Amino acid sequence: MTQMKPKLATVWLDGCSGCHMSLLDIDERIIDLVNAVDIVHSPVVDPKTFPDDVLATLVEGAVSSEHDYELAHLIRRRSKLVIALGDCAVTGNVPAMRNPFKIDQLLQRAYVENATANQGVPTVGIPPLRKTARPLHEIIKVDLFIPGCPPPADAIHHILTELLAGRTPDTGTVTRFGL
């Protein structure tokens, strides 16, 4: 009887994808990671629905839209460990810079004032924005924080390796804010 590999997921909320680029920057070590886990959800794999019984989910980005909010709660329900990956997930960082402004002001600026073609706020395909962009831990319980903008690839690899070995990683030894 074959033993099932632990399930790993990654999610990209309101961020720039830099944290996912750092994950890919673990280079050839990704082969060892893929051999050790099943990557069941990620922007770099195909599944569209978030699965059950995930060992760990790396969440990049702040919670800025209703879609982000709902997905964060789904991730928490279906993941043993939720990991805030990068400064946007940990602090709100760049997405939270919009917080002093009203949503209608943001949309007007982005889709009308700064547009040279097709001026107008979209009404289809864009999830409603929440009043403010929030760090992940203000929305759901987070088990581990990996700061950095983006976190170094070596830090992500170390932390995942430690988790897969059944150890609780000390993130302060491999990354810190502002890296």
The per-residue pLDDT string of the chain (179 residues; one tens digit each, 9 = 90 and over) reads 566 899 999 999 999 999 999 999 999 999 999 899 999 999 888 778 999 999 999 999 999 999 999 999 999 999 999 999 999 999 999 999 999 999 999 999 999 999 999 999 998 888 999 999 999 999 999 999 999 999 999 999 999 999 999 998 988 888 776 65
**Domains of the chain with bracketed CATH:** 7-97+130-173 (3.40.50.700)
> What is the pairing mode between strands 129-134 and 63-65?
antiparallel
Helix (H) or strand (E) holding 82: strand 79-85
Contact 58/9 with Cβ under 8 angstroms? yes
Task: Report the distance separating Cα 174 and Cα 166, nearest Å.
Answer: 18
